[in-house]
Structure 1
Amino acid sequence: MATIVRGQRMPFGPIVNDVSGPATTHKQVGGEGVCRWKMLMNGMHLEGEWNCVEYVVIEPGASVGEHVHMRTEEIYYIVSGRAVVTMNDVKLDAQPGDLITTPIGAAHSIANEGTEDMHFFVIEVFPGEGPAAEPAQVHVPDLLGAVDGLRRADVDLAPHFTGDWRRFSLVELPGGGSLAETTSAESTEVLHVLTGSAEFVVDGRTYTGQAGLSVAVPPQIPWSVVNTDGTAPLSLISTQVDVR
């Protein structure tokens, strides 16, 4: 969240992390089996009403037990494997590419009933005012379309929450392809590599990595990404949250 010092909002620089070195959790939130969990970014280091950015792996037969967030709103993005998400007693079969929204107050759990590890990306944001929306499930790859030499899908998050959520995007760059943007003055953006090899340049600094690399870009900062593999595509997701 933005930090105020002597009456002025103090800006933050980029944050970079990856999914290596997760903690091992047992019976997470009363669930079953083993999960591997890592906080990629603490919301106190991001401008805006972020709570956290996380990456979770649920082993076969394991689960995160049913729980209710009373202070945050949340998204899940299924990276690999299959999941069963129970949301307000309704079971949702989720597959890679599914975005699940969890409004404040919704009771939810997530389980891996398959035979391989299930990976998912998590963001929690503090809420605003007004009534909670209904939970939603969106298969984001179905929305992909060609835009300026790449494929892109955008989901407007604002109707699904009360907080300052702006947009969730899935971007696919062809081998050797690139993308250059500047975050708006009103939002912070978190980028996460799903597949492929990437080189990011953020505010003049270069960061390289593969699947699992996460980069946070503060407001009004130029950034670019290059697919460093000349043949295989690069796939990444982006989440934007407004700064009040």
Structure 2
Amino acid sequence: MATIVRGERRPFGLIHNDTLGLAHTRCQVGGEGVCRWKMLMNGMHLEGEWNCVEFVVIEPGASVGEHVHMRTEEIYYIISGHAVVTMDGVRIDARPGDLITTPIGSSHSIANHGDEDMAFFVTEVFPNTGPAAAPASIHLPDLLADRPVGRGAVVDLTPHFTGDWRQFQLLEVSAGCRVEGLGIAEHGSAVLHVLGGDAVITVDGDEFAGNAGLSLAVPPGHRVAVAAAGTADPLRLIVVEVGAR
């Protein structure tokens, strides 16, 4: 969305959040057991047609029940654990690193049949007009193999949706290294979410430090750099970019 006050467009600012302080939901969307949930970003505070950005943990034996989005398109990114996603009646056995797209009108559920917590990252964006694409499951680490340092695995989201999605990126930065020039497009906004390692994210000179669970929303036109602050483990993060009109 854009904010117009007395004929002047007002720019949005940065948002940062983390995955601490999760709510407990029982029988989420008619599912089973207990999930832990947090809205990281509300779309009303982001430039573009974002609806929400969420982090969800499904406890062993629990699930999010089958449902259909009639007003938004959605992606799941599996962070940890293993999930069973049922999409339009088709079972998908999902593992860490899987990106799952849900076009508008598709029915889906997600369950944890394992013996450990399963965590995933959710983004919902409002649709545009046109025919819906088929759902897809893409394993991002396969795309990351043999990439040079600082060059992430990138999925073009535009063929998968009708809305103003741009791209999804999985980025790995070696310990002690820094990647410059993660410039958000002039007409795009992005959410960065740290999966593991110690991060220092710099936006136009302002630094945001944290580890797994740190999330940062960046409006259009800002220059972003990320550094792996640890001395041993690489920094891994995902970046979702959506157009901003």
The answer to whether the 8 Å contact 1:146/1:152 transfers is: no
The 10-residue stretch of structure 1 (197-206 or 67-76) with the greater mean CA deviation from structure 2: 197-206
What's the TM-score once normalised by structure 1's chain length? Answer: 0.97
Counting only pairs closer than 5 Å after superposition, residues 1-244 of structure 1 correspond to structure 2 as 1-146=1-146, 149-181=149-181, 182-244=183-245
Deviation at 1:2, TM superposition (A): 1.7
Deviation at 1:140, TM superposition (A): 0.7
The answer to whether the 8 Å contact 1:164/1:242 transfers is: yes
CA deviations over 1:94-143 (Å, ceiling 9, x no partner):
00000000000100000000000000000000000101110000001110
What's the TM-score once normalised by structure 2's chain length? Answer: 0.97
CA deviations over 1:174-212 (Å, ceiling 9, x no partner):
011111222111100110000100011113221110000
* Unaligned runs of at least 5 residues, structure 1: none
Deviation at 1:147, TM superposition (A): 5.1
Cα distance in 1 for partners of 2:7, 2:135 equals 38
Percent identity between the two aligned chains: 64
CA deviations over 1:35-54 (Å, ceiling 9, x no partner):
00000000001000000000
Letter matched to residue 71 of structure 2: R
The answer to whether the 8 Å contact 1:61/1:112 transfers is: yes
* Unaligned runs of at least 5 residues, structure 2: none
Letter matched to residue 170 of structure 1: L
Please tell me the root mean square deviation across aligned C-alpha atoms, in Å. 1.1
Cα distance in 2 for partners of 1:47, 1:127 equals 15
